[in-house]
Homo-oligomer: A and B are copies of this chain.
Amino acid sequence: MVLSKAWTLAKHFKGFPKLSDFKQQEVELPNIKDGEVLIEALFLSVDPYMRSYSSISMKEGNIMVGSQVARVVESKNSAFPVGDFVISTAGWTTHSISDGKNLQSLLCNWPEHIPKSVALGTIGMPGLTAYFGLFEVCSLKEGDTVLVNAAAGAVGSSVGQIAKIKGCKVVGCAGTDDKVAYLKQIGFDEAFNYKTVSSLEEALKKASPDGYDCYFDNVGGTFSSVALLQMKQYGRIALCGAISLYNDSAPQLGTYPVVPFILKEFRMEGFIVSRWKDKSEEALKQLMTWVVEGKLKYREQITEGFDNMPAGFLGMLKGENTGKAIIKV
């Protein structure tokens, strides 16, 4: 008999989430049946999408959604023997029972020197988001100039580096000088702190006087209103996230450049990475290869302790992380 801890959504977030919106519960898990496994979380992921997902698809009392890297500790399912490492969508739980449907084995031959938590980051959902957003949504071509915001985050840092691997010019924006320094360190051609520039428009123009072919948007809101006006003819915009909007209780008022959108023939697409499930193994192998070759660097911001998971989530929403925000049990 195993005691599992879980974090539930105690109260729907109003504006920016508070620690008191979460509640920890303990549940005694039953014995596993044929076909089932018991898994124990090692690393848990906190991601921006959880904020928007909670409002739309969760009820109060539900366990918070999310992915984790876990180890199989009991098994009556031959596909997942004891000791195997899996990615699970069990949510914010320390232990859980699964029939295997929400589990995925870690890539074969996972190198010793790469922490398994990276399967929640650059060689996981955020890496895939960058990959498919660039290739499937932005139709990335060699020589493109790519703009990405929240660029020091798990997705953004992969976007910039993948675009560099493909021979593009990359401009990244982030919210602290340390993050900007990190972007330059991992190969961004241009990077600036959007919070301290006197004019976002001027900073974008300076970073790429000819404009941008691709805009990978993790932020939304007023940033986008300005950035769209800097796009070239046939500019492609991948709408990946809108972290500047998730905590709003009412839609933001803004200007949307509809006439330039028509005359410059922009294409903008919202996307969720699960659309390309059938291509994801191949893409993960590519991401792994780039990581092993040192072309695709990752950084993690580790919060220690399952009990600190809500605090880690809030810190990530505030932009306190450089790289992937991870909770280590």
A242 contacts across to B, CB distance below 8 A: 258-259, 262
Please provide the chain A residues from 43 to 70 with a CB less than 8 Å away from any CB of chain B in the complex: 52, 56
* Shortest Cβ distance from residue A138 to the other chain B in the assembled complex, whole angstroms: 12
CA gap between A257 and B265 in the complex, in Å: 20
A264 contacts across to B, CB distance below 8 A: 270
Are B272 and A258 in touch, CB under 8 angstroms?
Answer: no
* Shortest Cβ distance from residue A258 to the other chain B in the assembled complex, whole angstroms: 4
CA gap between A258 and B265 in the complex, in Å: 19
* Shortest Cβ distance from residue A224 to the other chain B in the assembled complex, whole angstroms: 8
Are B270 and A269 in touch, CB under 8 angstroms?
Answer: no
CB nearest neighbor in B for A235: B270
Identify the interface centre among A255, A257, A258, A263: most chain B CB within 10 Å of its CB.
A258
CA gap between A52 and B258 in the complex, in Å: 11
Please provide the chain A residues from 272 to 297 with a CB less than 8 Å away from any CB of chain B in the complex: 272, 275
A220 within 8 A of B: yes
CA gap between A311 and B298 in the complex, in Å: 63
A254 within 8 A of B: yes
On whether A265 and B269 interact (CB within 8 A), knowing A242-B259, A259-B242, the answer reads: yes
CA gap between A67 and B241 in the complex, in Å: 43
CA gap between A293 and B224 in the complex, in Å: 47
Are B221 and A258 in touch, CB under 8 angstroms?
Answer: yes
A265 contacts across to B, CB distance below 8 A: 269-272, 275
A259 contacts across to B, CB distance below 8 A: 52, 220, 242, 245-246
A253 contacts across to B, CB distance below 8 A: 253-255
A261 within 8 A of B: yes
A251 within 8 A of B: yes
Are A52 and B275 in touch, CB under 8 angstroms?
Answer: no
Q: 4 closest pairs, A vs B, by CB?
A: A251-B255, A262-B270, A261-B270, A267-B269
Starting from the known contacts A265-B271, A266-B269, A267-B269, 18 additional A-B residue pairs (CB-CB under 8 Å) come to: A52-B259, A52-B262, A56-B263, A239-B262, A240-B262, A241-B262, A251-B257, A252-B255, A253-B253, A253-B254, A253-B255, A254-B254, A254-B256, A262-B270, A263-B272, A265-B272, A267-B270, A268-B269
Interface, chain A (partner B; CB < 8 A): 52, 56, 220-221, 224, 239-242, 245-246, 251-259, 261-272, 275
